[in-house]
A = this chain, B = another copy of it.
Amino acid sequence: MNLYYMEKLRTHIQHIAPINDEEFEEIKTHFTVKRVRKGQYLLSEGDEVKHEFFVLSGIYKVFYIDGQEKEYILQFAQENWWMSDYPSFFKQKDATMYIECLVEGEVLCLTLQNREKLSATFHKMEHFFRVKLTNGYVALQLRIKLLLSGTPQQRYEEFARLYPNLMQQIPKKLIAEFLGVSRETLSRLYQ
């Protein structure tokens, strides 16, 4: 296994919980690496949600399709982000979402069982996951605020502020699917 991949994970964890060499040797055995090509699906509706993914590189979208075949993007993910169909992953139900690769890269895969084992074995890892969840929870609440009371304009500006690099790398159409606004309305905002 390429050591470089694991060093990236280690650095990421260290930002929250300091771990020593011995601990990391044990921790890293819980992950597997996967190379992903553009257009490839890491998850499709109906699949068993085996993993949560830690993004080493590339760009991905987590989305679902409603009754009228319309797509809605729940999450983008890029370097050092975590992604999965979380409602299904945590409750171990079949996927209701898709994960598609937009820009090729690599991810680390973690099963729920290994996640729980890491949390139970290492207080530090339980701490790490709690802090990540805390940040995630706050981010989702801010997104809900924007969906409840933000105009398309405000949503777009906030997106541009939070993810300036995604703005340049992904089609506007997908940003519209993330913001809950039609492609056309979004296009008319920045004239």
Give me the interface of A with B, judged by CB distance under 8 Å.
Answer: 64, 66, 70, 72, 74, 86-87, 90-91, 119-120, 123, 126-127, 129-130, 133-138, 140-145, 147-149, 180
Contact = CB atoms under 8 A, between A and B. Distances in A.
A138 B180 contact: no
Number of copies: 2
By DSSP majority rule, is chain A's interface helix, strand, loop, or mixed? Answer: helix
Contact of A147 (B64, B134, B144): B144
B72 A138 contact: no
A143 B145 contact: no
Contacts of A70: 149
Nearest to A73: B148
Given A90-B134, A136-B137, A141-B87, A72 B149 contact: yes
Contact of A142 (B66, B72, B87, B130): B87
Contacts of A64: 145, 149
Nearest to A150: B66
A26 B114 CA distance: 31
Contacts of A135: 90
A111 to B, nearest CB: 15
